[in-house]
Structure 1
Amino acid sequence: MTRAIVFKNATLYTPGRTIRDPYMKITDLGQIASVGFADDLDAREEIRTVTFSTPARIVPGFIDLHIHGAANADVMDGTEEALGKMQRVLPAEGSTSFLATTLTQTPEEKMKALRVCRRVSEQTDRTGANLLGVHLEGPFISEKRAGAQPAQFIRKADIALFEKFQEASGGRIRLVTIAPEEDEEGLVEFLHESGVIPSIGHSDAHYEEVVRSIERGVRHATHLFNGMRGIHHRDPGTAGGVLLHAEIAAEVIADGIHIAPSMLKFAYRQKGADGIILITDAMRAKGMGEGTYQLGGQDVTVKNGQATLGDGTLAGSILKMNEAVRNMIAFTGCSFEEAVRMAAFNPAKQLGIEGEKGSLDAGKDADFVILDEDFEVLETYVAGRKVYG
């Protein structure tokens, strides 16, 4: 069985075309049966009509591959309540799926959080954003580029320890941030061969080391420019290696704080719309007011849109995905369609689920967000059910 929804005063964006005043047919399984012009529907069908008072844009739900927390909840709280709260609040910014992202902590704390991710992933009666798996950030990173990751818990690459993490998660670790220049164990190759994405990040790698890491299987970069060796005219560094190689998809935090708008424009011109993935790297203060919050046992002060440690080190963001899309357009001059691609299709493709998510095509999940002209979220749907608005 299918049900049809007509959206008046709205435009639906699908690959290669836009549909003014569209319809969407959704199956009982929460998948898209078809999309098209409302005028093409059979008048005898049962149709629900949604009319917007201001022009609206319907796009695929955003997929945040790097988020630690929101609404005073954090993945490392290690509770089902914290993850459940994140699932409930993320649709308000248009996120319909995400990877629960960990922080560098003791192996015991890490495994506690991973077991909770496993349990929440197994729940079938949940509502809100989809938990697609885990982004393991830390502990296999460089102390030189730790950033806000607690340095005392950083460890050398360790295949046996990773296997314990993966077992605790029930095989749900999809992405691992690693400093490949310090990987003497061959963890990068192990991840790549196991179907887990190795991501270069919190890394002090020189350019040549980046090139070698690509040969070993690195295909992703964790928050480009942040927590990595920068560009120098005699050593392109980690950032330069990421920018120069199309094999690597680069996460960016488009808040105008983590990356200067001009550098974001530089990255866009070098990588193109297909090579960039918008993320938030948000911590628990997202959606809260200014004040002091905790991140891995560290005090983080949120003021004037920035989250920082006592020494001024950036400690994640309070960015929302709809804001990232808006900022990317404003900072780089990319098109609306390109920015949406960076927030939806590109992360889906990176996870190998572009056949299920990332665009509004027949046969894919009915995960979509409706934005107004100012990029504010009007409604969000997950598997065809309205979860926000």
Structure 2
Amino acid sequence: MTVTVLKHATIYTGLERIEDGYIRFDDKILAVGDMFDYKAQAGEQVVDVQGKTLIPGFIDVHAHGGYGFDAMDGDADQIDEMATKMMTHEGVTTLFATTMTQSTENIDKAMRGVKQAAERNRIIQGVHLEGPFISKVFKGAQPEEYIKNPNIDLVKQWQELSGGLVKLITYAPEDEGSREFEDYLLAHNIVPSVGHSNATREQMLQSKATHVTHLYNAQRGLRHREPGVTGHAMLEDNMYCELICDGFHIVPDMLRLAFDQKGPERIELVTDSMRSKGMPEGKSELGGQTVYVKDKQARLADGTLAGSVLMYKDAFKNAMSFMDASLFDAVEMSSVNQAREFNLTSKGTLEVGKDADINMLDRNHDLVATYSYGVKHDTED
């Protein structure tokens, strides 16, 4: 593979900012540093990218679909294409394909499809099981008839079918059997995430959940005499919080509140996107339910938000405008934290030995190109 050098870039490695720097890579990062220390090597392809900013590729741990496809369809070819489009259109270089509450047979099918897609597409690094172990009170856009109590045997089954890709499970910790369920997840390096939950603060204090699925949305909210799931996530330093930064799921004032309370080191930007992302507005589908997409919002017929059509590159920019986050903070929330939490040791920062997953931004912080494992892809509109 050809060795490439991008020089005269502003580089945010995830650890530091280099004002005038270079990065050398094939499929892995070979060197990164200040231009003062750069020494040309024979045979390398050198590109001057002055005026551009380089950041780590985005990591989305909660995305159901996009571009007409959905992980629940269980079609390996389509899941493969979906992941590639998320990279070329949005800068997502690491994806957790996300399922939803459905029949056991349909989730089985999704696990098989994701496994086959991941064997050919290294962007897919995990599975996020969102349900079916959730609360009927806060089911959101998840079909109630398939909701179950936590079930370790089903997790074992889905972990086997996926080839060990299950990394994150959304569940309701107030349900029967949750303590043993959490112990099993933690023993098998699966992160337990509270979501679609009616748990009280008292119940959350008994839980071992360390992650909250789409903070504020589909959970017992913050009240003056009952902090609920949202309050617990705000109060506990060990909780990583997903945020959907589209301006619809959470208004900017509440995004700023979360940012002020948690800080950039405990927030992870997600899209929670569904198949209509990147597609014309109109009628769509989520888990067998009709969804209507209008004005960049996806809703069921009763008005319930049904995932999003948010692109990750927009979530990244929105984080800076809605939360007054710095570019350094936005990098932490879009790459660094996810890699740390899920032990993605070759991801998350631009350091020697890591995968060459790099996003290139222009002066307006718009995405112009993505390098996935060192291969360049110009951003598609």
**Same-fold status (TM-score > 0.5):** yes
Deviation at 1:107, TM superposition (A): 0.1
Equivalent residue in structure 2 for 1:278, among 269, 288, 292 = 269
1:78 corresponds to: 74
Per-residue deviation, 1:361? 0.8
Query: CA–CA distance in 2 between the matches of 1:334 and 1:379?
Result: 22
Structure 2 residue aligned with 1:375: 365
> Deviation per CA, 1:76-114, whole angstroms, max 9, x where unpaired?
111012211212211221110110000111000000010
C-alpha contact 1:94 1:321 (8 A) present in aligned 2: yes
CA distance in 1, matches of 2:223, 2:118: 43
Q: Is 1:359 paired with 2:355? A: no
Where 1:181 maps in the other structure, the secondary structure is: coil
Residue 388 (structure 1) aligns with? 378
2:157 aligned with 1:164: yes
Q: Please, which of 326, 330, 353 is the counterpart of residue 335 of structure 1?
A: 326
Letter in 2 for 1:14: T
Letter in 2 for 1:197: V
Aligned to 2:223: 232
**1:179 aligned partner:** 172
Contact 1:205 1:237 in 2 (8 A): yes
Matches of 2:331 and 2:64 in 1, distance apart?
A: 22
Moved more, 142-151 or 355-364: 355-364
- Cα 1:183/1:130, change in 2 over 3 Å: farther
**Secondary structure at the counterpart of residue 96 of structure 1:** strand
Alignment of 1:136-155 (within 5 A): 136-155=129-148
Identify the residue that residue 204 of structure 1 maps to in structure 2: 198
Paired residue type of 1:203: S
Distance of aligned partners of 1:157 and 1:206 in 2 relative to their CA distance in 1, 3 Å threshold: same
Structure 2 alignment gaps of length 5 or more: none
Does residue 290 of structure 1 match 2:281? yes
**Counterpart of 1:5 in structure 2: which amino acid?**
V
Aligned CA distance change for structure 1 residues 15 and 85 (closer, same or farther; 3 Å): closer
Give the counterpart letter for 2:245 in structure 1: A
Moved over 4 A (4+): none
Alpha carbons of 1:160 and 1:3: their partners in 2 closer, same or farther (altered >3 Å)?
same
| Residues in 2 aligned to 1:18 and 1:317: alpha-carbon distance in whole angstroms | 32
Equivalent residue for 1:113? 110
Question: Hey, what's the Cα distance between the residues in 1 that align with 2:114 and 2:17?
Answer: 37
Are the aligned partners of 1:2 and 1:25 in contact in 2 as well (CA < 8 Å)? Answer: no
Asked if the contact 1:4–1:46 (Cα under 8 Å) also holds between the matched residues in 2, the reply is no
Superposed displacement of residue 39, structure 1 = 4.9
Q: What TM-score, normalized to structure 2?
A: 0.95
Provide closer, same or farther for how the CA distance between residues 183 and 17 of structure 1 changes in structure 2, counting only shifts above 3 A.
Answer: same
DSSP-derived class of the 1:152 partner = helix
- Compare 152-161 and 63-72 and name the one that shifted more: 152-161
Percent identity, please. Answer: 41
Whole-Å Cα distance in 1 between the matches of residues 220 and 15 of structure 2?
38
Distance 2:237 2:72 in 1: 33
1:82 partner amino acid: Q
Q: 1:165 Cα shift? A: 1.5
Q: Distance in 2 between matches of 1:15 and 1:300?
A: 37
Q: In the aligned structure 2, how far is the partner of 1:293 from the partner of 1:43?
A: 52
State the 1:164 CA deviation. Answer: 1.3
How far is the alpha carbon of 1:16 from its aligned partner?
4.5
Give the aligned length.
Answer: 377
Q: Distance in 1 between matches of 2:40 and 2:262?
A: 46
TM-score (structure 1 length as normaliser): 0.93
SS in 2 for 1:365: coil
1:55 aligns to what SS in structure 2? coil
Give the letter aligned to residue 271 of structure 1: K
Q: 2:51 aligns with which of 46, 52, 55?
A: 55
Displacement after TM superposition at 1:362 (Å): 0.9
- Cα RMSD of the aligned pairs, angstroms, is 1.6
Unaligned runs of 5+ in 1: none
CA deviation after TM superposition for structure 1 residue 58, in Å: 0.4
Per the TM alignment, residue 154 of structure 1 is displaced from its structure 2 partner at its CA by 0.6
**Residue 37 (structure 1) shift:** 3.1
